[in-house]
Structure formats: structure tokens, C-alpha cells
Amino acid sequence: MSRLHGPEERSGVSRRNFLKGMSAGALAAGAVASPARSKAAPPAQEKGAKLLGPDPVPVTLQVNGKERRLPLEPRVTLLDALRNHLDLTGAKKVCDRATCGSCTVLLDGRAVYSCTVLAIEAQGRRIETVEGLAESQGGLARIQRCFVENDAQQCGFCTPGFVMACESFRRSHQNATREQVLDGLGGNLCRCGTYHGVTQAVLDAMGGGQ
Amino acid sequence: MKPARIDLAWPDPKDCSILGTRVARLDGPDKSAGRAKYTYDANRPRMLWAKFATCPWGHAKVRSVDVSAVEKMPGVVTVDVIAGPGSELNVAYQEVAIVTAESEELAREAARRVKVEYDVLELYVADHDVEMAGNRAREGREAKNGDPDAALASAAVVSETEIGCSILTHCCLEPHGSVVEVTEKDGRKSVTAWCSTQAISGVAGEFAGNAGVDAGDVHAICHHMGGGFGSKFGIDSWGAWAARLAARTGRPVKVMLERDMELALAGSRPSAYGRIRVGTNDDGEIVAFDAHAWGSGGTGGGAGVNRLPYIFGGIPNTRSKVTQIATNTGGARAWRAPNHPQMCLLTMAALSDAAAELGMDEIEFFRRNLKFTDRARVYEEELRIAGELIDWKGKWKGRGEAKRGPLRRGLGLAMHTWGGGGHDSNVQCTLQPDGGVELRCGTQDLGVGARTVIGVVAAETFGLPIERITVRIGENVFPASGGSGGSTTVGGISSATRHASVQAVNQLFEAVAGELGAAPGDLAAKSGTVHVAADPSRSMPFADACRRLGTQPQVTMGRTQGSLMSSQVGGVQAAEVEVDVETGIVRVMKLVAVQDCGRIVDLLTAESQVRGALIMGVCSALYEERVMDPVTGTLLNPDLEFYKLAGIADVGELVVHMMQTPEHLGRGVIGLGEPPVIAPMAAISNAVANAVGARVKRCPMTPDRVLAALEA
């Protein structure tokens, strides 16, 4: 299936690396989950590594050009930080495990699944959400206008994620073919069936400047 | 009421400036910008998150529930046991307990720490095997027409088909759920409830009963929803718990299902399998159709099939028997065009196999037997167009005669029908003295463009650009409108909007006729003006006309109008596929949908809905199915990694042809929610059979099933 070519190729955050990261995260989460264990000796760790949590820690996120400081438990994902703590609800929670792309945001300009990035990992990096994309270009960004014109949305729940994936693709491809578009957007899923409009929207958006 | 000055009837298509054209959906900018707020997005001050502890077995009795550890967790606010000791649960993922906590993470963790012991009971989930089902199978009554046995015995050719399709889920991207807030002012409690529902006008009573308030004190909101597909009507136990817990804690409560529970419990399409014999004479005319079908929608049986054959009900000698199989699976709900895709698959596959057995071109075989349908003339035209659009003549080869080599191409056809009609809808139209026009309706937009439909009809009637129309929907405080099911929404809301708007325009004409020196009946509203129809130079801007109404807004109410809508539509779909006979992988190259739906309101969103339906059909044909574990009875693919949907590169070229002849546009409005999603699975199944020379017996046609068919 086209999902074999997921956003990991463009994001730099591969599922495999994420899973590797999870094994460390899972140890930390285990300590959080069990008060009894959290009193015991911390799990084996590399010398000098700092163990965060389980209580909230101060976190600073650069979201849409603004610095946002907030206390977050280390287990909070970037998606949940955006949605539940900053009320930026454009990115959606659908699969919650890096399959569907509805939570796509840009991290340092590259598309990532924000449901599988921890908020603490996103510190010091430039986070762009669908809300910021619209604001930064005074109303709707070009890709968003192309979505509207091509009716690339029905229920709209996958749309913000698709918009961000398309924006990332558009920025990194000057003159992509239809096949490249289909390949590049394999990391997002839609249930209503808007793929035809999405494909056309990306092609139109690449058709000229901002 | 004053006599109408402009007719209620839909205007002639050639006089329309916006009705029936391609209009971008009104909420498109909000959706693309991430501003559209869904139920899942409702964040309230001091809100609690609720999560369920669920049963991991397909059938079990609860022995004990221990929530002591959960109650001690800091940040956990409530713990309720739903299924206490002795409770029998007969479907995996059923609710055992619900917890609320200060954060989503904590609520999830708390739900996981509810300790439950079960006694596992006898369970059965194999819905596909009627022989294995034993006492889980309940044979239905046989429906018979003519003498199928004699007709089959004397038929020139008899074909046999085994075909079926698995249980699917609705898989709404926004899961089911509600956010409920109970507030108290001057001793009176009221509820605000955000609910992802296909029936916002109908949920107040349910929330009221669970929160202990009057239904009139419930404000239910669904401005946007992330899909429904037939699965989101009531508030469900999830909404009920949100209401109860919000009332008890005095804090807003959010209950949105996790993906696994959504896939296991919150909506599924029953399976249907069958063995069918078709008898034909030498002319390729069907003389007999004998079907035994079975399947399951859950614990009550509920196979996804009624009487067969589908559409070709006029076949002279038929037998149809359905066996219900009770399985420990959950959540059967209306799934777009309930039972039609399954019945379409069973019938069209059998007809396609009959054509192949005869050695006859499939399109010709269908054409010869159209006389057994109710709408032969329309289908004939749609068959012709579908054939042209997929280049049937140029590409057709007999079954299994595709060019040799690992990649085999094939063509397939299927046809469908649906009723439609319109539900009971009320629409309020307000004309403001400054020229503002607002339409209010207690309907909801599942993603198909309900908001835009109201805007288009009003814009056409007032002769205004759609940007000047304000449409407010998705709240129960607006005039009541029926639930969105059965493709009845567009008929209801478009006709009620027309009714309200026509009255408003006629009242406006009364107010300004004298000033324009004409009778009200001689006026027209077009291009943002009110003018004398015969002399457009005698005109005034629309806003000026509204000022003549005085200082008070003018309000008119519209209701569903039977004369503005119709029912019964049909369509023909054709598929071209390429099958890799070494790997069993099927690729859809092209899908053609020819669809009639009466008067079209917005061509753009209508085409989108048909394309979307084709894509959903690709999912059913090739990818998605619920996989149950026969040992534990649980769902083995409770996530989107393994509950597979088609991706953007998997759907091939999609060609949509909407029937827009004067005959079709002269009918009333008919919805498109169901019709186009019925036939694609069958058309793709037939195309695969044509390509590889063997029937793949079950959809989705996964590579293993394709290879099994090739080896059989």
C-alpha cells in the first residue's frame, strides 16, 4: 500500500527510530505508572542521563513563531500538548500511533506525526501548525485555498493533517509529477474519500509561488 | 398566506445562476485552516477526561472488579463500575468501568489499572462459515418465486458462484463521543452538550434524562463532525456517561472513544456470503436465480443481506434463503446503504459468472436482462455511458483471456439502486433590514455539504452571491430537522430552505412593488437587486429593498416540500483492475460511476461525494475488514495500521458522470449518501474475476485470497 512511503521519508523521524526511542520512554512511563516502582531505584540508565518526571516539568515550545511556556508531564505528546494544553485543535487525534497523519505538524519545516513526538522532544525546534499556516499568510495559505477550490475535504477531520503534509511536500518539491505527489502523500489517510481533490490541490499549489 | 409571487418549484436550470453549478463548500476555509471546531476539539475550563476500562473477551462473565488502586490515584476524580460481578458481556471491548481524571494521560492510565477478573464463556466469531456455525446458525424462511428447481434443470447453462464480504466498521475519523457541561443559574440547571451526531435535533432528551434536567434546557451542538456513515445517531452509553458524570461532578466531562473501542464497538457493517446458481437460456436471458446467503452483524445474527436477487427482482424463477449467524461481535449499525453493497456484490458476481459461463460480454449480458429491473430505460442509458467512459469496447476480453504475463487486466460492472426522499425538516429564514440573510436549521453536516446546500438554495432564491448568505446549522436550538440517514437530508433541507426563502422573497416584493411601479408578481430578485422582470432598469439593490421592510427582521419558516424532492435513483459503475498473479496484489486502474440523483444542488460536492463513495468501495473491495480472534473473541486489528484503508495512491483514476439531462434535472432533489457506495465492491470483484479467470470468493480481495482463487 502507498503507506509504505510514509512521511518518515520526509520527516526524518522514522517509525523505527521512534520505536527505538519508545523503549527508553516505556521505561520512564513504567515508572510513572507504578507509584511502588517509582520509589524503588530508578531503572538502569546511562551515566549522567537525566530522568524527567513523572511530575510536570517546565517546557518551552516554539509554536507558530511564539514562545509558549507550560508545565507538562514528560509523557505528554506534542499532539496532546497542542490540543489539550494550548487549545490548538487543528491537528487531530485519530489513530494515535503514527499511521493516519491527521496529527501532522511541521517540525523545523518537516512533516511529523505529532502523536508520536513527545512535547519535551520538540523543545528548541520550530513547530508549525495548521493554524499558524493560515495566520502567517493572512487568511488562508495558498495550499489551503487550493484545498477549498478543489473540494479536497468532506468531513474535514483529516484535512488539517493533509494540509500540513501537502505544505511540506510543496515546499520540498518544485515541479513534482502526479506520481510523486501520490507517493509523497502516502502517509495520510482519509475516510470520506477526498484523495482526488487533495492530489489536484497539491498540483495546483505547486503551479506557482505563494 | 399571500399568494406566491415566485413559484416554489425549482427554477428552470437554464435560468439558474448558482443552483446546480460547482460551488465550493461554505465551511471549506474553516476546515482547511483548522478553525472548524469538532466535538473532539471542545476544551472547557476545569474539564475532566473520561476513559473506559473494557472487556478483552468476546464472551465472559465478570467475576470481580477491583478499583481500589484507581481510587487512590491523585488526579482521578470518579470511578464507576459499569459491569459489576455477575455481569455477562458478549462482545469484546464492552464497557466495564469508567474513570474521570484531570488529564487525558491520567484517565487512560487509570482505566488501564482497573483490575477485572473474568470467567470466559463459550464464544464464536467465525461469521463466514455456515457449516461450522452449528447452533449459532438460524435458518430463515425461504422466499420463492416460480419454480427455480425446474427452471435450473431445463436451463441451457447454469453457473455457480461463491462470494461474500467480511464485516467492516464505519471507522469515522472523529470517534464517537460527547463533551457535556452542566451549569446552574438561579437554581435552574442547564446542559451544553457537544456531540458528534447525525441527529443533533434529536439528542436533547437523552442528555436531559442522564443529566437530570429538562430537555428544553439542553443546548446540543454539532457544528462539524468527523464522519458518521450511519453510526452516529443516539448519544450512546458514552454520551450518557458524559452527562451523568458532568451532572455529578459539576465539571465538564469529555468522553471520546479510543480508536480500538471505536473499531470494535461503535459501528460495523454486517457480513454477507452466499452460494448462488443462475440459470440462463441460449439467448443470455436469466431464467432462474437460486441463492442461499448467510452472514452476521453480531449477537442477534443480522446478516447483511435481505431477499436476493438485488435489483433484478423480475427474474421469473427465484429462491432466496438467508441464514443468520450469531457471533460475539459488536456494533452493527446502519452503514451507508444498509445491506445494499453486500446484496449488490452477491447478485452482480452471480450475474457476471453467468455471463462468463455463457461466454458472453458482461455488458451485453446485463443489457439483455435489464427488463428484470424497475428502471430499465435509465439503466440502459447509464450502462452505455459507463461503457464509453471506461472504453469497454476497446478493452473487453473474455474471462481469463487477459494478455498472459504476471500483470492481468480486467473489466467489471455493477449496478445499484436506492430510495432517498427527504426527511422532515424546518428552516428559518431571517431577512435583516440591512440586507443580511440568515438561514437556520437544526441539521448537521456529516461532511457531505449540508451547510452549502442550504446556502446555494437560498442564494439562488434571493438572487444573491452565496457569500451574502449566513447559514447556521448544527444546534438543537435551531428549527428541528431529521437525522441524516438514508440519503434523506439534502431533499429535506433543500426543499425547506426553498420554501422559507420563497416566502421571504415574496414578502419583500410586496414591500417594494409600489415604489418600483409594478405589481409584486412582476418583480424578480437577481444579481443582488430586486427589479421589474420585464424592465431590469427599474431596480433597487437588495439591501435597499430590505430596508423597506421596517426596523424589525422579517422571519419566515419553511418545511420539507414533497413536490421539490423525489426518490429512487440508480447508477452503473465500471472498474478496470490490474492483478499481479504472482503476488496476488490487485490495483484499481480506473473506476467509472454514472449516477442519477434528480435535481442537483451543488455539482462540486455531489461529484465529491460520488468519488468518495468509490474510494470507500475500493477499501471494501481490497483492504478493510474486521479481523476477529476465534480464541479470545477480541478484535485483532483495532488500529489503523492493520484496519486498512486505501491510501491516496491506491484508488486509481476516478471518473464521475452525473446524469444531467432535462429528464433527470426535472425531478426533485435526491440525496447521494448511499447510492454511489453500493456498487464499487461488486464492480471491482467482477473486474478481478475477468482479469484472472477465477472468482475471488471474499472481499476484501487480499493477496492471499487472490492467490487461493488462482490455485483453486
Contacts of B446 in chain A (CB under 8 A): 155
> What confidence score (pLDDT) does residue B225 get?
98
Q: Is residue B281 in some structural domain?
A: no
Cell readout for B450 is 449540508
Contact B420, B491 (CB under 8 A): yes
Nearest-CB residue to A2 (from B227, B615, B650): B650
Domain presence at residue B291: no
**For residues B219-225, average pLDDT:** 98
Beta bridge partners of B157: B280
Mean pLDDT of B648-671: 97
For the cut 80, the answer to whether the pLDDT of residue B690 exceeds it is: yes
Residues of A in contact with B74 (CB under 8 A): none
B594 and B500 housed in the same domain: no
Q: Rounded to the nearest 10 degrees, what angle do helices B680-692 and B703-711 cross at? A: 40
Taking an 8 Å cut-off on Cβ atoms, the answer to whether B226 and A92 are in contact is: yes
Q: What is the pLDDT of residues B569-586, one digit of tens each?
A: 999 999 999 999 999 999
CA–CA separation, B710 vs B688, rounded Å? Answer: 11
**Which sign does the torsion angle of CA A67, A73, A74, A77 carry?**
negative
Question: What is this structure's pTM?
Answer: 0.94
B432 falls within a domain: yes
Could you give the CA distance from residue B61 to residue B83 in angstroms, rounded to a whole number? 9
In a shared domain, residues B99 and B197: yes
Looking at residue B619, its pLDDT comes to 98
Burial B596-625 (b: 16+ CB within 10 A, else e): bbbbbbbbbbbbbbbbbbbbbbbbbbbbbb
Residue B129 lies in a domain: no
What pLDDT does A3 receive? 42
Where is the domain boundary, B256, B274, B294? Answer: B256
Q: Is B103 on the interface with A (CB under 8 A)?
A: yes
Output the pLDDT for position A45. 53
* pLDDT reported for residue A39: 43
Neighbours of B96 (CB within 10 A): 24
Cβ contact B593:B614 at 8 Å: yes
pLDDT at residue A19, rounded to an integer: 45
Q: Do B604 and A151 touch (CB under 8 A)?
A: yes
pLDDT digits (tens, 9 = 90+) for B78-129: 999 999 999 999 999 999 999 999 999 999 999 999 999 999 999 999 999 9
Kind and range of the H or E element at A57? strand A57-63
Residue of B nearest to A80 (CA): B104
Q: What is the CATH number assigned to the segment(s) A138-206? A: 1.10.150.120
pLDDT of residue A137: 67
Does residue B77 belong to any structural domain of this protein? yes
Shared-domain flag, residues B597 and B684: yes
Both B660 and B517 in one domain: the answer is no
Judge if B63 and B207 occupy the same domain: yes
Q: What is the CATH number of the domain that holds B185?
A: 3.90.1170.50
Q: Do B447 and A155 touch (CB under 8 A)?
A: yes
Architecture of domain A2-27+59-133: Roll (3.10)
User: Domain span at residue B560?
Assistant: 13-36+422-564
Which CATH number does the domain housing residue B655 bear?
3.30.365.10
Task: Examine the domain organization and report whether B447 and B490 are in the same domain.
Answer: yes
Interface of B with A in 428-457 (CB under 8 A): 446-449
B185 and B105 together in one domain? yes
Look at residue B560 and tell me if it is in a domain.
yes
Distances (CA, A) of B169 to A22, B198, B329, B508, B639: 30, 17, 11, 50, 11
- From B198, B232, B256, the end of a domain falls on B256
Tell me the backbone φ, ψ of residue B178, rounded to 5 degrees. Answer: -145, 155
Per-residue confidence (pLDDT) for residue A27, from 0 to 100: 39
In a domain, B408, yes or no: yes
Residues 6 or more apart from B632 whose CB is under 8 A from it?
B56, B57, B58, B92, B123
Where in chain A do CATH 1.10.150.120 domains reside? 138-206
pLDDT tens, position by position, B522-571: 999 999 999 999 999 999 999 999 999 999 999 999 999 999 999 999 99
Low-confidence ranges of chain A (pLDDT < 50): 1-42, 209-210
**DSSP per position, B432-466:** -TTS-EEEEEB---SSS-HHHHHHHHHHHHHT--G
* Among B65, B47, B52, residue whose Cα is nearest residue B107: B52
Rg for chain B (alpha carbons), in Å?
28
Q: What is the mean pLDDT of residues B619-634?
A: 97
A197 close to B (CB below 8 A): yes
Angle subtended at Cα B542 by Cα B538 and Cα B545, rounded to the nearest 5 degrees: 75
Pick the last residue of a domain from B256, B276, B309. Answer: B256
Integer-rounded Cα Rg, in Å, for chain A is 18
One domain, residues B655 and B592: yes
Cα nearest neighbour of A6 on chain B = B647
In a shared domain, residues B189 and B50: yes
Look at chain B and report how many structural domains it folds into.
Answer: 3
B706 found inside a domain: yes
Q: Enter the ipTM.
A: 0.96
Residues B510, B557 within the same domain:
yes
Same domain, B81 and B205: yes
- Alpha helices by DSSP H, listed for chain A, are 8-11, 15-33, 35-39, 78-80, 130-136, 142-149, 159-172, 178-184, 195-206
Q: CB burial class (10 A; 0-12, 13-18, 19+) of residue B436?
A: middle
Region(s) of chain A under CATH 3.10.20.30: 2-27+59-133
**What is the distance in angstroms between the Cα of B612 and the nearest Cα belonging to chain A?**
4
> Closest residue of A to B49, CA-based?
A84
Chain A residues whose CB is inside 8 A of the B648 CB are: 2, 182, 185-186, 188, 190, 195, 198-199
Distance of residue B292 Cα from the nearest chain A Cα, in angstroms = 32
Domain match, B513 and B588 both:
no
